[in-house]
Amino acid sequence: MRVLMKIKRFNPERDRTPYWAEYEVEVEPVDRVLDALEYVKWHLDGTLTFRRSCAHGICGSDAMLINGRNRLACKVLVKDLGSPITVEPLRGFPVVKDLVVDMEGFFAKYRAIKPYLINDELPPETERRQSPEERARFDDTTKCILCGACTTACPSFWANGEYIGPAAIVNAHRFIFDSRDRGAAERLAILNTRLGVWRCRTIFNCVEACPRGIDVTRAIAEVKRALLFSGT
């Protein structure tokens, strides 16, 4: 089948403003949008720039705006989109070139919530054990692949790019509710600001955008509840 790919292009070394480029691509119905992008790059225009790595929905590197929705290009089949297919870079991040965005600010916020186990207690002789129930408490938020789809789908982030964003809160949740961790109070203090967890307006865009099916809004609500009852 032939589909029309409409791709938003921008090269800061040459272009003053972004523009739309159109390409007709021959694809199979079961091909993914990533396959169509690679066809364009390999056969039609080698200057097209985008990120990709594992191509199996795990690395999160190929998140982009596809037909107006944040998705992973490697998980969306062209037969489910029809023609034309529009592809744009994620909203809210500076565009480096074409579909590649600068995610340094995104990862700085991720690092700010200390996304690692904090426990200064003497380690036990075996390991820090955890019951299945304790593990299930934060299981959902362990699935995050840091693709940025939730954060760049968030109107609160569009309104103020300093908002820490749902991805950072999700990753804080993963450790706040881990029974082996002792850094919950520290992380809650980091999130207890005007541009922290309280900036969330419970719009649910993040839930719809997450390619891993994480209930992002619920995780944020649980962090808010922990703050309210912690006295922080």
Task: Starting at the earlier edge strand, list the strands of the sheet with 63-66.
Answer: 19-26, 2-9, 85-88, 63-66, 69-72
Domain's final residue, options 84, 101, 118: 101
Domain's final residue, options 66, 86, 101: 101
- Are residues 203 and 121 part of one domain? yes
Answer for the pair 40, 20: CB distance below 8 angstroms, yes or no: no
pLDDT tens digits, 74-99: 999 999 998 999 999 999 999 999 99
Q: Which domain holds residue 71?
A: 2-101
pTM value?
0.93
Whether residue 232 has pLDDT greater than 60:
no
> Whole-angstrom Cα distance, residue 16 to residue 9?
11
Q: What is the CA radius of gyration of the chain?
A: 20
> Whole-angstrom Cα distance, residue 229 to residue 1?
57
CATH number at residue 48: 3.10.20.30
Sign of CA dihedral 32, 37, 41, 44: positive
| Pairing label, strands 85-88, 2-9 | parallel
> Whole-angstrom Cα distance, residue 211 to residue 66?
13
Report the percentage of the chain scoring pLDDT > 90: 93
- Are residues 110 and 65 part of one domain? no
Domain's final residue, options 53, 83, 101: 101
Whether residue 171 has pLDDT greater than 70:
yes
| 230 band by pLDDT with thresholds 50, 70 and 90 | confident
- Are residues 202 and 135 part of one domain? yes
CATH number at residue 217: 1.10.1060.10
Residue 11's SS3 state is coil
Angle between helices 216-230 and 166-176 (to 10 degrees): 60
What is the per-residue pLDDT for 3?
94
Q: How many domains does the chain divide into? A: 2
- Are residues 122 and 58 part of one domain? no
Q: Is 170 left (phi over 0), alpha (psi -120 to 50) or beta?
A: alpha
